Amino acid sequence: MVEGKRNEKEVDGTVMIVVKYKKWGDKDRHRSAEDIAFAVARFFQRGGTLQNYYMYHGGTNFGRTSGLSITTSYDYDAPIDEYGNPRQPKWGHLKQLHAAIKLGEKIITNGAATTKDLGNGVELTTFTNNATGERFCYLSNLNTTNDANIDLKKDGNSYFVPAWSVSILNGCNKEVFNTAKVNVQTSLMIKKPLVPSFFWTWAPEAMDNMLNGIGRFNASQLLDQKQASSDASDYLWYITSAVVNKPELKNASLYVNSSGEILHAYVNKISIGYEIGEKGFQFQKPVSLKHGRNVISLLSVTVGLRNYGSFFEMEPNGIRGGPVKLEDSKNVTLLDLSSNTWNYKVGLDGEEKRMFDPSSEKGIGNAWKTSGKLPINRPMTWYKTTFKVSKAIDPMVLDLQGMGKGQAWVNGNSLGRFWVTQTANPRGCSATCNYRGTYAVAKCESNCGNPSQRWYHVPRSFLNDQTNTLILFEEFGGNPSNVSLQTITIGTICGNAYEESVLELSCQGGLKISGVQFASFGDLQGSCGSFREGSSNVANTISIVQKECVGKEKCSIFVSEKIFGDGSKNIIPNRLAVQAVCS
């Protein structure tokens, strides 16, 4: 199952999943540890025997491998993130879930199951091994608002089952896991600058030939971009000319019907604008034409190709078939250029010259400029810098804040496409997410109003021991002055554990627990970053935690009233919550 990226509907016990990939302009979607654990536990409660996760380890669409308008990051809020860090508490919570289910593996797969409805959404499923009499139980509460306290007469025990949760009972008499009781660490990751600043050189993308009407091959039709380019580049030039010999043509509008994602239009070497659209669009801009021959140069851009859906390989790309025409102010066609002779050029000049690869000097010569002020907000521009990094082990990311759209390379290795100016809708996000109830894509979202992707993974396998080269191609216009290289590590850690369980805290990358910001044992409220004491709290909790944890890379504490004293006497179980800092 995709973590936070799919809608699920249960039909006859089968989970139906509708794909929702993250695209440029989307918010970040999340599925909580409690809810994903609930879905998995319910699957096994109903007789499931094999669970597959998609994704369990997030990834990166390096190069040009991402599908149509899909972001470079393929993280999907997975239990292990794009950079290889465990996403806590999800990773640890699922680990405990799997361990609990495995306790009943032989009984579940070799026994008979019976389910009893206990009322108000509570169900008890008992698996029994007929040969040995061993039992294994799931106690679920499907109510989305009301917690349940269940007394099982057979074993004489009482179980607190929160709303929308499943308890796993080993031997049907001991709770070993509950999907809503998260007893593992929460890690809040931070980014730290690794290279403080860059010195940039730059080079304009060479477009003179295309703007003058010169291509590499021609055809008397508007070709499909994917077929014409063999998908060797995101870019394809469509070039033709229009002969103006009538007065009404001098102040016409250029109309282009495109099946691509972006179109840049030039007339007589001058940019007249661009248009963006995912499923095809119409470009229409007024042009000032001269008497005689006028050169029309159109740069069509794909942002990945569709890679799912029926007959996706048949979907048109680029300006295939058009039409491309000149119109008057009433949208009446004055001159249809679709059947003209069209000249074509696949890719950028800088791609052909391999300007992204520092080991290649093919045709570059003295292209990189150092004199004068660094140009910013200049479209169709290449930027280059060098840097050195330490041998730290934390993952690295490139922060492309200030850039527009383009591609990035480190030592000739593509980090993928970037499109920092594509921002998410500013509305719809919430500081808290209610995991209870049927999952929906928009149920828990973050990053509203921000770039869909700002940080780009830099694998250490891409780096040299000495000097490294970073190259950016900027399509719309950006400012590389704010670009930086950063590491990702754990900053704040939070532990949360109920009575009779173990609270564990752990830093990474050689960092140690330097301080405890919050510690409470009782009926505390809130979550990591916003904990607050409840109606009861054991006074010496923080001193106990400081003694066990400060100065250590990791620590563990068994949570019980014997260690912390009397906590809450409410029906809700006591829990210990700790917030600490790694440094």
Query: What's the mean pLDDT in 168-195?
Result: 94
Please check whether residue 259 is in contact with residue 280, taking contact to mean a CB–CB distance below 8 angstroms: yes
- Express each pLDDT in 87-112 by its tens digit: 999 999 999 999 999 999 999 998 89
Tens digit of each residue's pLDDT (9 = 90 or more) over 410-438: 999 999 999 999 999 999 998 888 999 99
Q: What's domain 192-204+352-488's superfamily in CATH?
A: Galactose-binding domain-like (2.60.120.260)
Mean pLDDT over 161-175 rounds to 96
- Residue 570: pLDDT band (50, 70, 90) is low
Query: What gap in Å lies between CA 516 and CA 525, rounded to an integer?
Result: 17
CB atoms under 10 Å from CB of 166, counted, come to 27
Q: Which residues contact 201 (CB under 8 A, 6 or more apart)?
A: 368, 369, 370, 383, 384, 385
Q: Distance between alpha carbon 87 and the CA centroid of its chain, in Å? A: 13
Alpha carbons 2 and 429: distance in angstroms, whole number: 20
What confidence score (pLDDT) does residue 533 get? 84
Structure tokens at 239: 């070039």
Bridge partners for 290 per DSSP: none
CATH superfamily of 499-582: Rhamnose-binding lectin domain (RBL) (2.60.120.740)
Q: What does the alpha-carbon distance between residue 244 and residue 499 come to, in Å, rounded to a whole number?
A: 84
Domains 192-204+352-488 and 499-582 share a fold: yes
Burial label, 171 (beta-carbon count in 10 A; 0-12, 13-18, 19+): middle
User: Residue 200: which pLDDT band, with cuts at 50, 70 and 90?
Assistant: very high
Would you place residue 361 in the very low, low, confident or very high pLDDT band (cuts 50, 70, 90)?
A: low
Is the per-residue pLDDT at 233 higher than 70? Answer: yes
- In this predicted structure, which of 14-28, 63-77, 286-300, 523-537 has the lowest mean pLDDT? 14-28
Could you give the CA distance from residue 390 to residue 410 in angstroms, rounded to a whole number? 16
**What does CATH list as the number for 208-347?**
2.60.120.260
Q: Is 20 a residue whose pLDDT tops 80?
A: no
* Per-residue pLDDT, 566: 64
What does the domain layout of the chain look like in residue ranges? 6-178, 192-204+352-488, 208-347, 499-582
* pLDDT of the residue at 479: 97
DSSP 27: P
Q: What pLDDT digit, counting tens, does each position of 244-303 carry?
A: 998 888 889 999 999 999 999 999 999 999 999 977 899 999 999 999 999 999 999 999
pLDDT score at 8: 44
Tokens for 101? Answer: 């289910």
Q: How far apart are CA 560 and CA 417, in angstroms?
A: 51
**pLDDT of residue 5 exceeding 50:** no
Residue 569 has a pLDDT of 55
Q: What is the mean pLDDT of residues 434-463?
A: 94
- Two structure tokens written together for 131: 């040969």
Instruction: List beta partners, residue 123.
Output: 117, 140
First to last CA, the chain: 35
Mean pLDDT value of segment 327-346: 95
Please state the rounded mean pLDDT for residues 374-401.
93
Which DSSP category does 480 fall into?
Answer: G
β-bridge mates for residue 276, sequence order: 262
What is the mean predicted confidence (pLDDT) over 432-456?
A: 93
Region 44-70: what's the mean pLDDT?
94
pLDDT band at 364 (very low <50, low <70, confident <90, very high): low
Cα separation of 260 and 303, whole Å? 8
Tokens 């043509």, residue located: 249
Per the prediction, the chain carries an average pLDDT of 91
